[in-house]
Structure 1
Amino acid sequence: MYFEGVVPELYAGMPVVGTSMPVQAMCPYCGNRIITVTSFVPGALTWLLCTTLFVFGCVLGCCFLPFCIRSLMDVKHSCPVCQHELFYYHRL
């Protein structure tokens, strides 16, 4: 997936990528051809599962289990050169 010629000022929000795996892209900030660095961040699905577990009686810390499972968290893609956040993958 290449984003050549994309100027950061042309889009208001962060583009959404359909994968949690690192992707090859052209960084619109530094202009380098890179493979994105991924980091897992709690998103809507993580908080929804945590709240659901808490409501159904998992109050002894089990409700925080979704924060330990990477496949339930959103993924932030960033540039390894300039550390700008490039893409965001939402699980929900």
Structure 2
Amino acid sequence: MPINYLCPYCGNYVVTVTTPIPGVLTWLLCTGLFVFGCVLGCCLLPFCVDSLMDVSHTCPVCRRELFRFRRL
């Protein structure tokens, strides 16, 4: 969820922009599915599920990453 935050780079009080990005959990699930036989593209399913990805919070004014929520 986006949060209200004071950007340390531009000094504005902003609501962050959230973006899902692949993280360690996503890659581990993909590798695990591949090892257990999902070789025809099913192993890429974790990259389509936002709840399995890390979340990057960025400032909408200066576009710099403020912090990242890591699932694992």
TM-score by length of 2: 0.99
Matched with 1:61 is: 41
Residue identity in the other structure for 1:90: R
Cα-Cα RMSD: 0.3
CA shift, 1:59, in A, is 0.2
The count of residues paired between Structure 1 and Structure 2 equals 72
Structure 1 runs (4+) deviating above 4 angstroms are none
**Distance in 2 separating the partners of 1:85 and 1:46:** 20
Q: Of Structure 1 and Structure 2, which has the larger fraction of its residues in strand?
A: 2
TM-score by length of 1: 0.78
Matched with 2:63 is: 83
Q: Which runs of no fewer than 5 residues in structure 2 stay unpaired?
A: none
Percent of aligned pairs with the same residue? 69
Q: Which runs of no fewer than 5 residues in structure 1 stay unpaired?
A: 1-20
Q: Does 1:70 align with 2:50?
A: yes
**Distance in 2 separating the partners of 1:73 and 1:36:** 17
